[in-house]
Structure 1
Amino acid sequence: MKAAYDEIADWYEHEFLPQGDPLGLQRVLRDLLGEGRGPCLEIGCGTGVHAALVRELGWTPAGVDLSAGMLRHARGRLPAVRGDAGRLPVRDARLPAVIAMMTHTDMPRYPAVLREVARVLRPGGMFVHVGVHPCFCGGFADRTDPEEVLIRPGYLDGHWTKKSWTDRGVRDKVGASHWPVQDLLHAFLEAGLVLERFAETGGSVPVVLAIRARKPQP
């Protein structure tokens, strides 16, 4: 299976990532994941840029991603395998922590991914989702003005699109699946995960919605 990111992996590593962390992803990951021990699986790990922080917090990072091109750049950052997030190569109830960093819009079957997350987590294990904000990011949102967002019809449609307000980002290149906030939160609940904490980052109009959820104890 060819992954969309294979075609842009070099651009992503050498041009997109050097822009830094303007959305505060490292801060919100540090806050929601926190210090811990044991394996922490990143689904859609891409080039593995978050592994250093995961390791700094005491966890042992590992990753899975569909894109062989992105995983080529991940070498040396974390151990990772090529695989489908909807069919994780992990046995039931094995992991204390799973994270997903800005990837849910790349996964048209994200509810199935959340069910896989719940399957591989130990009871009491946590899942940290950091993703684009459903309300203010998508083909319906024009973010040309950094101080405000123009919202056009389409938020509730729930669709895949390559439409983007900028040609310097990822979405105009690989597209995105949009999940309205109600559908996103319901998918967590239907997977059996307990919502625990939330965060928004990205300036006066949020770009990121982050969620910490937990697999309940029996």
Structure 2
Amino acid sequence: MASTASYDEIADWYESEFLNRPRAVTGDGHPLSLDVLLSDLLGEGSGTCLEIGCGTGIHADRLRALGWTPIGVDLSGGMLHYARERLPVAQADAGHLPVRDGFLPAAIAVMVHTDMPRYPEVLREAVRVLRPGGVFVHIGVHPCFCGGFAARGHREAVVIRPGYLDGRWTKASWTDKGVRDKVGATHWPLPELLHAFLDAGLTLDRFAESGAPTPAVLAIKGTKPR
């Protein structure tokens, strides 16, 4: 999974500066602008919803508004320092969730899959802890238009350079004001990402994109078969 130290070192900046920076769209992956996707794909429900890689816990209020009871798991103690004020949390590796088999009705992972080099393992863990019929919602940077290969500095266009098919970790970023140039990111080409969902045993139900003029976010809803 992502290095604990990487996010520990930027936790204060993330909470006090990054989250409070105004943004009109989700083009830079700002997590506060993703409520609509959570509402549309996860929807209203009841019971416990686990956020895998919860960071500072900023999605807890949206989950509660939808009727869910949020809990969070993250590797970074620095991020959890802030998250504890927003929801119950546990410090743990996303590849080894401290949850028993078939316990949860829902789980989400929001803007974190590029922090997790073993994301297929995380998806398998999500399926393990979901009950049959349970829902998993992935919201992440768009693999086709975001990454070290994509220059997003122009307001009306994205320049795609060679590198999309490489599937590698990098700190290359189109901006020095975001997260990726600080902690890096693992890139998953679209087919590899979708195959990871299928290989984990999820039935893919819905998809959504967000960001303008070129999508910066891809969201996927999957269900554990009954």
Cα deviations by residue, 1:78-137 (Å, 9 ceiling, x for unpaired): 000100000000000000000000000000000000000010000000000000000000
Which residue in 2 is equivalent to 1:143?
152
Amino acid aligned to 2:83: A
Match of 2:47 in 1: 38
My pick for the range that moved more, 193-202 or 20-29, is 20-29
What's the counterpart of residue 35 of structure 2?
Answer: 26
Q: Distance in 2 between matches of 1:12 and 1:161?
A: 20
Q: Which residue of 2 aligns with 1:4?
A: 6
Could you tell me how far apart the structure 1 residues matched to 2:120 and 2:7 are? 21
How many Å separate the matches in 1 of 2:140 and 2:22? 17
Return the offset for 1:20: 4.7
Give the distance between the partners of 1:121 and 1:3, measured in 2 at CA.
29
Give identity over the alignment, percent. 69
Residue 19 of structure 1: how far off its partner (Å): 2.1
Is 1:194 the counterpart of 2:184? The answer is no
TM-score (norm 2): 0.94
Please report the RMSD computed on the Cα atoms of aligned residues, expressed in angstroms.
1.0
**Corresponding residue for residue 215 of structure 2:** 206
Q: Decide whether the 8 Å contact of 1:3 with 1:66 is kept in 2.
A: no
- In the TM superposition, 1:13-92 aligns within 5 A as 13-20=15-22, 22-23=25-26, 24-92=33-101
Query: Gaps (5+ residues) in structure 1?
Result: none
Is 1:135–1:180's contact at 8 Å kept on the other side of the alignment?
yes
User: For residue 106 of structure 2, what is the aligned residue in structure 1?
Assistant: 97
More displaced 10-residue stretch of structure 1: 76-85 or 2-11: 2-11
**TM-score, normalising length: structure 1:** 0.98
Helix, strand or coil at the partner of 1:138: coil
The residue aligned with 2:163 is: 154
Q: Which moved more, 1:2-11 or 1:48-57?
A: 2-11
Distance (whole Å) between structure 1 residues aligned to residue 22 and residue 222 of structure 2: 27
| Distance in 2 of aligned mates of 1:185 and 1:127 | 13
For 1:131 and 1:125, the matched residues in 2 are separated by 20
1:137 aligned partner, one-letter code? C
Name the counterpart of 1:185.
194
Aligned mate of 2:135, from 114, 126, 134? 126
Q: Which whole-Å deviations, capped at 9, do the CAs of 1:3-35 have from their partners, x for residues lacking one? A: 310000000000000125632411111111100
Please list every run of 5 or more consecutive structure 2 residues that lacks an aligned counterpart in the other structure: 27-32
CA apart distance, 1:75? 1.8
Instruction: For residue 62 of structure 2, give the secondary structure of its aligned residue in structure 1.
Output: helix
Q: Deviations for 1:157-196, whole angstroms, at most 9, x for unmatched residues? A: 1000000010000000000000000000000000000000
Please give the secondary structure, in 2, of the residue aligned with 1:28. helix
| Distance in 2 between residues matched to 1:81 and 1:121, nearest whole Å | 17
Partner Cα separation in structure 2 for residue 63 and residue 2 of structure 1: 16
Amino acid at match of 1:202: G
**Aligned-pair CA distance for 1:2:** 3.5
Q: Distance in 2 between matches of 1:120 and 1:89?
A: 9
Task: Give the direction of change, closer, same or farther, for the CA distance of 1:68–1:99 in structure 2 (3 Å limit).
Answer: same
AA partner of residue 68 (structure 2): W
